């Protein structure tokens, strides 16, 4: 069975079904008409969270959410609108510092006492734009950089296991698991996740929502519990590319051009490269997805060419382990006195002392990272990083060599997060119980055209 986008049919017979899966434009239109208030949107979001409490998408509800809503309703009454997100609730991943009195834990019990001493820069930007931070979304512990020993996606020792939005047997993937599930279930229309090695693309793919991983560096890393200073980025999750664009505009420095402006302005004829993997045959479902995707792109006036690559992923643990030790120790120094944890060594020891709760799946990644130098100036690290960046430049080189606006595949690939290319996940439906999606990768710093391309592609899905 194939479910058409938008994919909410799994909820049609469930009394807990949300009726608030509206776009940002729709929400703003109804807020402007006075059909409901931001306070009522917050109330509705909390009720939806409570209805879906068994899915464990939300870590904490912010005690400031109603206060923000009241203030923003008053501003609206007096004709003041801060931006497209004014008065709209969203959730942020629980690795993003928000000084609302609740902890930011990365779903790790070792950080249960981390009450942020300051806001992440993106939190200040969201508040400035009038977004209401409903609370923090659950994630895989330490953004899925905890253990090699079969640790489930979406699991953490602080808040437990996030479940897939419509089938508990489906792996929800991580690490922005709760953010994706909260959007899919209609708890909120928007969520902020983060990605190091696929943590926006993978849960969006499995949960059948849209996500945008921006070009590396477009969004500030400040105040986000890190893995890699060379790869980490926050990014938006929503039901549509357009709504992701609105959220990404709010997350990035306003010196950049708006990504949500002129989304419907036609692109000139472009070429998109569909990637096949040497020695890997796409399944019948994936072939169907590719055929439909090519048809839609042709309808948009674009040409598709097929390109074969050697592999979809490249291992980068050797560099990530070093970067994690360096970045986490630096972060803990920045928030010192806000938590008893002062180093990665402290966290490892804490977990050993609370083994029953904290080491259900071990901490082999943490221990491996702690054995490294944690020195980004070490010649060995610098050589490893240089080599992996060269390999990860493959998609950028293909786009330049073949004059492509994007390369795409019915799976996510490791090249884009390592090299820093922007990516967009577009849900394609459920095929015999298995979620499928297309992931489009764009050229570095060409987020605007990639978002315009995928927005217009998504519009064809609804025709």
Closest CA to 178 of 161, 166, 197: 161
Task: Write out the E strands in 75-150.
Answer: 89-93, 132-137
Is 80 an active-site residue?
Answer: no
In the structure encoding, which two tokens stand for residue 428, read together?
Answer: 């394609």
Contacts of 72 (CB under 8 A, 6+ apart): 38, 82, 86, 87, 130, 132
Q: Choose, from 18, 199, 211, 406, the residue flagged as catalytic.
A: 199
Sign of CA dihedral 118, 123, 128, 134: negative
Is 62 an active-site residue?
Answer: no
Is 175 an active-site residue?
Answer: yes
Half-sphere exposure (Cβ direction) of 124: Cα atoms closer than 13 Å: 12
Tokens 């073949």: give the residue: 402
- How far apart CA 75 and CA 155 sit, in angstroms, is 39
Nearest-10 crossing angle of helices 241-251, 121-128: 110
Contacts of 379 (CB under 8 A, 6+ apart): none
Q: Choose, from 38, 175, 189, 211, the residue flagged as catalytic.
A: 175
The runs of H, that is alpha helices, within 3-104 are: 24-33, 38-51, 65-77
Query: Which helix (H) or strand (E) segment is 248 a member of?
Result: helix 241-251
First to last CA, the chain: 20
Query: Which helix (H) or strand (E) segment is 449 a member of?
Result: helix 447-461
Tokens 């764009």: give the residue: 442
Tokens 């690490």: give the residue: 175
Q: Choose, from 18, 44, 62, 93, the residue flagged as catalytic.
A: 93
Q: Which residues are catalytic?
A: 93, 175, 199
């Amino acid at each position: 069975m194939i479910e058409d986008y938008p994919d909410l049919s799994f909820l049609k017979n469930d009394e807990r079904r949300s009726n608030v899966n509206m776009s940002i434009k729709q929400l703003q239109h109804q807020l402007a008409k006075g059909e409901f208030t931001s306070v009522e949107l917050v109330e509705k979001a909390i009720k939806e969270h409570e209805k879906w409490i068994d899915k464990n998408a939300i870590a904490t509800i912010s005690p400031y959410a109603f206060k923000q809503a009241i203030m923003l309703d008053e501003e609206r009454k007096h004709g003041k609108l801060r931006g497209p997100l004014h008065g709209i609730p969203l959730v942020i991943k629980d690795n993003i510092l928000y000084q609302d009195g609740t902890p930011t834990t990365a779903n790790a019990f070792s950080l249960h006492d981390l009450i942020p001493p300051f806001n992440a820069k993106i939190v200040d930007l969201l508040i400035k734009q009038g977004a209401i931070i409903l609370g923090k979304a659950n994630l895989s512990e330490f953004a899925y950089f905890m253990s090699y020993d079969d640790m489930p996606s979406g699991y953490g020792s602080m808040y437990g296991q996030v479940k897939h939005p419509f089938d508990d047997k489906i792996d929800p993937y991580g690490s922005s698991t709760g953010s994706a599930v909260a959007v899919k279930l209609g708890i909120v229309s928007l969520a902020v996740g983060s990605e190091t090695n696929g943590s926006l693309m993978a849960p969006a793919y499995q949960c059948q929502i849209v996500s945008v991983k921006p070009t590396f560096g477009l969004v500030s890393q400040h105040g986000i519990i890190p893995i890699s200073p060379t790869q980490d980025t926050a990014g938006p999750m929503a039901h549509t590319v357009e709504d992701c664009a609105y959220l990404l505009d709010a997350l990035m420095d306003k010196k950049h051009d708006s990504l949500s402006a002129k989304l419907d302005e036609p692109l000139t004829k472009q070429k998109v490269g569909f990637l096949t993997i040497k020695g890997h045959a796409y399944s019948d479902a994936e072939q169907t997805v590719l055929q439909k995707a090519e048809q839609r792109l042709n309808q948009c006036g674009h040409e598709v060419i097929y390109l074969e690559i050697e592999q979809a992923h490249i291992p980068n643990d050797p560099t990530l382990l070093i970067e994690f030790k360096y970045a986490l120790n630096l972060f803990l120094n920045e928030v010192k006195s806000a938590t008893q944890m002062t180093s990665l060594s402290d966290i490892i020891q804490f977990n050993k002392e609370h083994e029953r709760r904290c080491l259900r799946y071990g901490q082999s990644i943490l221990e491996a990272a702690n054995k490294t130098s944690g020195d980004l100036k070490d010649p060995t690290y610098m050589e490893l990083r240089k080599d992996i960046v060269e390999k990860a430049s493959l998609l950028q080189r293909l786009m330049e060599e073949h004059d492509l606006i994007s390369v795409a595949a019915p799976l996510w690939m490791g090249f884009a997060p390592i090299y820093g290319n922007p990516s967009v996940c577009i849900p394609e439906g459920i095929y015999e119980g298995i979620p499928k999606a297309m992931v489009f990768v764009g050229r570095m710093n060409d987020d605007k055209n990639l978002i315009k391309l995928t927005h217009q592609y998504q519009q064809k899905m609804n025709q």
